[in-house]
Chain A
Amino acid sequence: MATQTKTFWDEIETGRILKTGSVTLATADIRAFAEKFDPQPYHLDRDAGKDSLFGGLCASGWHVSAIMMKLVSDQLAEERIPLVGSGKVSWLEWYRPAFDGDTLSAHVTIRDKMRPENETDHGLIECDIAIHNQDEKKVMALSTYLMIESKKAQP
């Protein structure tokens, strides 16, 4: 990432909305995540999924969170916004299941920006992030703080 092309914290405008790319959930990916981190039957087995409150084989909520991180990371990189860490997640809600074959994408709304005390190398942006499926139905949303490199850190 060439320094001169970066968009630093100082230059980010509040109110801006970043639209990420998308990812389609493969059955194998849902199962692989579930086997490692969330081996509940409705994340592993199609019949168990049908019999569950979700109504089908679906991704772990934490898998959706991880996919959100990947979508947001890739979009920030694409826009040359240097992410250097993250802060608190004020809240996060899961609204509906993400089934295999669903295509997920995210919108990141930059609500506010602030400089933490005693920090000069980065600033925070407060973001509302919403994940939708291919039918524009909301799957998950959260409000979180991201740490973005600041111009002042440059020599």
Chain B
Amino acid sequence: MTKSSFLRSRWFEDIPVGEFHVFGSYTFSEQELIEFGELYAPQVYHTDPDAALDTRYRGLIASKWHVCAVWMRLMVNYMENYAMGVEDGRRNGAGVRIENLELLVPVKSGHTLTFSHEILEKPDKVIRDKWGIIRSRNEAFNHRGDLVLRFVIDILAERAPK
């Protein structure tokens, strides 16, 4: 983690539509599934391995919001590496909108997901004088090659000073 007070990013203008990256993989453990479930998603199929066997999932599964949180962690790591050496003060912005977020296949303990993202478009809109919107399609595939997670997200990126 950087010691600076913000995470760096490329300028809005320097992020090309069509860019595609596989940006990380993650293996979920049973303990992590239960910890997240107990804090935020207390259904038995997220918190109790035995009781989960009697549900439609036939075992413990990750909360959709847990899988999304892991996406965020891998994205932060990726952005850190991508903007390594950038020292001119530009910074990344916030996520503002998500569309069509779906968890299509259950994620169980021991499953490994591989995350990718593709820049779809840069809507022609300026926010608070200095931010542009980067729209990306994000997907995760499991170890069997099944598409597990997908969503489209709009994230702010700082525009280069004129």
Q: Which residues of A are at the interface with B, using a C-beta cutoff of 8 A?
A: 33, 36-42, 45, 47-48, 51-54, 60-63, 65-67, 69-70, 73-74, 77, 83-94, 121-122, 142
Contacts of B76 in A (CB 8 A): 38-40
If the complex has contacts A66-B65, A70-B41, are A37 and B73 also in contact, measured as CB distance less than 8 A?
yes
Tell me if B43 is interfacial: C-beta within 8 Å of chain A. Answer: yes
Using a CB-CB cutoff of 8 Å, which residues 16-67 of chain B contact chain A? 36, 39-43, 45, 55-57, 63-66
Do B102 and A36 touch (CB < 8 A)? no
Is there an interface contact between A66 and B69, defined as CB atoms closer than 8 Å?
A: yes
Q: Is B110 an interface residue (CB 8 A)?
A: no
> Nearest A residue to B131 by beta-carbon distance?
A53
Q: Find chain A residues with CB under 8 A from B57 CB.
A: 85
B96 pairs with A62, CB closer than 8 A:
no
Give Cα A112 to B138, complex, Å. Answer: 28
Contact present for B40 and A66 (CB under 8 Å)? yes
Among all A-B residue pairs, the 3 with the closest Cβ atoms:
A89-B101, A66-B40, A37-B69
Q: How far is the CA of A40 from the CA of B43 in the complex (A)?
A: 29
Q: Once the chains are docked, how many angstroms separate the CA of A92 from the CA of B66?
A: 16
Flag if B97 contacts A93 (CB, 8 Å): yes
Option from B42, B93, B156 in Cβ contact (under 8 Å) with A73: B42
Closest to B97 in A: A93
Taking the closest CB of chain A, its distance from the CB of B117, in whole angstroms, is 16
A-B contact pairs, 28 of them (CB 8 A): A37-B69, A38-B73, A39-B73, A41-B6, A41-B7, A42-B6, A52-B6, A53-B128, A53-B131, A53-B156, A61-B95, A63-B69, A66-B39, A66-B41, A66-B63, A69-B65, A70-B39, A70-B41, A83-B43, A84-B43, A84-B56, A87-B102, A90-B99, A91-B98, A92-B97, A92-B101, A94-B94, A121-B56
Q: What is the distance, in angstroms, from A59's C-beta to the closest C-beta of chain B?
A: 12
Q: What B residues does A61 contact at CB under 8 A?
A: 94-95
**A38-B69, A62-B65, A90-B99 in contact; A73/B43 too (CB < 8 A)?**
yes
Alpha-carbon gap, A91 to B101, bound state (A): 7
Query: Chain A contacts of B94 at CB under 8 A?
Result: 53-54, 61, 94
Residues of B within 8 A of A36 (CB): 69, 73
Known: A37-B70, A92-B98. A69 touches B6 (CB 8 A): no
List of A residues within 8 angstroms of B4 by Cβ: 41
Bound: A69/B68 CA distance, A? 13
The answer to whether A60 and B41 have CB atoms under 8 Å apart is no
Question: What are the residues of chain A within 8 A of B45 when measuring CB–CB?
Answer: 85
| Shortest distance from the beta carbon of B42 to any chain A beta carbon, whole Å | 5
